[in-house]
Structure 1
Amino acid sequence: MTTLASLLGRRVAVWGFGREGRAAIHALRKRLPALPLALYCSEAEQVEARAFDPALAVFGHEPDAAALAGYDVVVKSPGISAYKPAILAARERGVQFTSGTALWFGERPDARVIAVTGTKGKSTTTALLAHLARSLGVRTALAGNIGLPLLELLDGEAALWAIELSSFQTGEAGPVELGVITSLYEEHLDWHGSRERYVADKLKLADAARTLLVNGLQLGLVERTEAHPRRLLFGRPDGWHVHGGWIHRGGARVFDAARIAAPGAHNALNACAALAALEAVGYDAPAAAPALATFLPLPHRLQPLGSHDGLDWINDSISTTPQATLAALDSLAGRAVTVIVGGHDRGLDWSDFVRAMEARADLRIVAQGANGPRIAAALRDAHFPGSLAEAQNLAEAVEAARAGAPSGSVVLLSPGAPSFDQFRDYAARGRRFAELAGLEGHAAAGIAGLGIA
């Protein structure tokens, strides 16, 4: 793994000025204050970047292959696809690409790490893991893709590191004591280029994990990981699983799933993943289980915002796949629901969602955003029996949802798509939804427990 010290005397650039990029700049300045450093950011970020670090050589544009070839090492932010033609060409010319994640692992090879990834469930599982470990008195770090770059905790000390990794980061992890894969669906095709590459990149965590814990309910995931020499499963009757509304460890009932503050069967399964992970690294998971009742649900993930205009508003802006929207709807079974779907179109297949809607005459759907027309057309072609409306953007969608929703029902934002057609990220979309609902401020809270405690 690349260490910060190994960059001394080399030509280094940072690409990206989000939180990951800033953390990388700060760490490099702290450890290598005399190292000349270049930054590539957007044109709009140039002034802020120069104020952040006046010694930076700031370029307000995306580098091409020729520009990248002028450096020995480029510290790339995770949102920048590793498969960009300029990056592939620069690699062929000997340029090394690394990241804040890779640098942290290079600096902390002896850290006790549980790394969690998955198309859905990874953030909640990682946060649950940290919460449960802390309930046992374990000094635990909660960081990574969940919202706190690892380099921001470079000098922190913890007995256990609960780290979330996105599919952009799984190939950058050093050896981890336990890797956890919560689920595997189609996502981020614009970054990875194909479903096959997305799956392969996600499963790179298996290569880094001494022990691997995977969702035993996903047969494809089970098959793809069966060669791992130390693989464990959750979700099956012989391990941590959900049955009859209870979390079980084998045949023993451990915890009433209805007492978990985070609603839905999928969150009960996330709790099983966290408990199984704790047990896999030697902690007393049954003793930690009661702390599930005090876990604070993550913002923008089936987050109840409150009631307004006679309606209950739920913010699930983190939903960026159709499967996540289906899980959100399942968690609200028995309620009258108006669901707002649609957003940035990255070509995901909505056919499973459409098929599931064929029997949902009780449901109201508002399709909005860049892929809203495509979703609405597919629903009409399938003769969706419920109420269907279209809107150009989120503001119009909220008005359409409010106009026809029966009193006492739920308005659910669960887009099944990224936010980039209208918003910087899912959090900005969730905050805007709360404002449009008349409940501004409810979606602004950050994730509880980030850092070391």
Structure 2
Amino acid sequence: MRIADLAGRRVAVWGFGREGHAVIGALRSRLPAQSLTLFCSAAEVDAAHAFDAALEIIAGEPDATALGQFDVVVKSPGISAYKPALLAAQVQGTQFTSGTALWFGENPDACVIAVTGTKGKSTTSALVAHLARALGVRTALAGNIGLPLLELLDQRADLWVIELSSFQTGEAGPVELGVITSLYEEHLDWHGSREQYVTDKLRLADVSQQLLVNSLQSIVLERTQPHPRRLLFGQPEGWHVSDGFICRGAHQVFPIDQLAAPGLHNALNACAALAALAAVGMDALAAAPALATFRPLPHRLQPLGERDGWHWVNDSISTTPLATLAALESLHGRAVTALVGGHDRGLDWTPFVEAMRDAPANAIVCMGSNGARIETALRTAGVACPILLVSDLASAVAAAKNCTPDHGVILLSPGAPSFDQFKDYAERGRRFAELAGFDGAMAGIEGAGIC
């Protein structure tokens, strides 16, 4: 669907976050006479009126009857495609689309590398863009990474690097190359089940001319095997990590201790990025030295620095227990106090508990709505390190200071979403930085946009 296809139809925008702003702005620029209705929360009504006085605004969660009054509803990604009201309105004939789908409709010939995955998609996307720019390629970095595609509607780039969440993979296409970094259990509240989550993630394969996947994950290998042009990273024949180096086959290309983004998983993300460039015909070997100048993204294993004798690391983006384990592995050999817990989505913490039983952290501070559940699991397993239970992030930071030795690491890697106490992971990360004594107004995603 293209924006012009909305002309003269009954159109609503559902959601007034940054995606909603971008949709309204794009529709106004292309269809200035089009009437628009906005579904938003009651708390957003005044801001919506200030943003666009011509909007008809309906406050509150729309039901099937409200949605069914429109020919097309452009929804924000965080609104589940499986909401009963949405499904009922579809049956009645309402079409649902998104800012992502509209951008692809407007740009069918763009050269796109689309990246998804439970973890690693943001860093891999940013790495692809950084390395392509190092080769002199005019590159756009946008999508789920924090810059809605429609904000770049009328701009041009030679390469589009687009991060897609599991909410967006079914809205994309076609793309020159799809990249799948990993698949773990996440966002079950949006998708309804683990199987549906996996299915939705893998929709990217359906629109990818070439598909690059992580060879170290059996579920990804199994589910993408039918793709006619599938490529792999992480295996010895291609881009992989071995003996402290990022390698291409038998050739050692880049020492991983020179990566600013720490951890084996980030080295594998770098392999994915290099393999992606090679897949679209770029000189990955020539780009590899630029890995040394890539800066870690905010809230993703972000070293904040040293304060009061401790090293502070902000990994607020961590929303699964396996992500927390990856963060701890990246700090192997150091005395790490881990701050875990947050909004409880019912994820299984058994792998984390078992890993801590075998190789415990210096201490584990449990917090948030699932903190008590994590604490109970750790104590029941006999994990041999101090385990503390607190109510909130401020209390967790205070507790960590009391049990972390000099020059140790205090790591925020919650393994859970932030919605029990914060608007999003970024707000949680900024608050952690402030509690540690740093400037909470940390920079946004470096490189988002076109350059």
The TM-score, its normalising length taken from structure 2, stands at 0.99
Per the TM alignment, residue 363 of structure 1 is displaced from its structure 2 partner at its CA by 2.5
Task: Count residues in correspondence.
Answer: 451
Q: In structure 2, what is the equivalent of residue 122 of structure 1?
A: 121
The answer as to 2:280 corresponding to 1:281 is yes
Matched, 1:356 2:344: no
1:444 and 2:447 are equivalent in the alignment = no
Partners of 1:361 and 1:387 within 8 A in 2? no
Structure 2 residue identity aligned to 1:69 = G
> CA offsets, 1:255-312, max 9 Å, x none?
1111111111100000000000000000000000000000111000011111112111
Q: For residue 271 of structure 1, give the secondary structure of its aligned residue in structure 2.
A: helix
Q: How does 1:11-410 map to 2 (within 5 A)?
A: 11-410=10-409
**Whole-angstrom CA distance in 2 between matches of 1:14 and 1:30:** 15
1-structure distance, mates of 2:167, 2:386: 38
Q: CA deviation at 1:362?
A: 4.7
Once the two structures are overlaid, the 10-residue window that deviates more, 394-403 or 117-126, is: 394-403
How big is the alpha-carbon RMSD for the aligned residues of Structure 1 and Structure 2? 0.7
Contact 2:144/2:164 (<8 A) preserved: yes
User: How far apart, in 1, do the equivalents of 2:205 and 2:140 lie?
Assistant: 22
Structure 1 distance, partners of 2:344, 2:9, is 40
- Kept in 2, the 8 Å contact 1:278–1:285? The answer is yes
1:134-168: CA deviation from partner (whole Å, max 9, x where unpaired) = 00000000000000000000011000000000000
Distance 1:199 1:362, change over 3 A: closer
Q: Distance in 2 between matches of 1:142 and 1:362?
A: 36
Listed one character per residue, the Cα deviations across residues 388-432 of structure 1 (whole Å, up to 9, x for unaligned) are: 000111111111111111111000000000000000010000000
Deviation of the 1:360 alpha carbon:
2.6
Question: Which amino acid letter does the alignment assign opposite residue 108 of structure 2?
Answer: P
Q: Which residue of 1 aligns with 2:3?
A: 4
Are the equivalent residues in 2 in contact too, given 1:360–1:386 (CA < 8 A)?
Answer: no
Aligned partners of 2:362 and 2:404 also within 8 Å = no
Q: Which amino acid aligns with 2:184?
A: Y
Contact 2:316 2:414 in 1 (8 A): yes
Deviations 1:185-238 (A, max 9, x none): 000001001000000000000001010000001011101100000000000000
Go from structure 1 to structure 2 and tell me whether the alpha carbon gap of 1:366 and 1:47 turns closer, same or farther (over 3 Å shift).
Answer: same
1:440 Cα deviation after fit? 2.4
Name whichever of 352-361 and 427-436 sits farther off. 352-361
Q: For residues 30-57 of structure 1, what are the alpha-carbon distances to aligned partners after superposition, in whole Å with 9 as ceiling and x for unaligned?
A: 0000000000111110000000000000
Q: For the residues of structure 2 that align with 1:431 and 1:181, how far apart are their CA atoms?
A: 29
* Whole-Å separation in 2 of the counterparts to 1:362 and 1:99: 43
Amino acid at match of 2:248: R
Q: Which 4+ runs in 1 deviate beyond 3 A?
A: none
Question: Once the 2 structures are TM-superposed, how far is the Cα of residue 60 of structure 1 from its aligned partner?
Answer: 1.6
Deviations 1:53-110 (A, max 9, x none): 0000011211100000000000000001111110010011111000000000000000
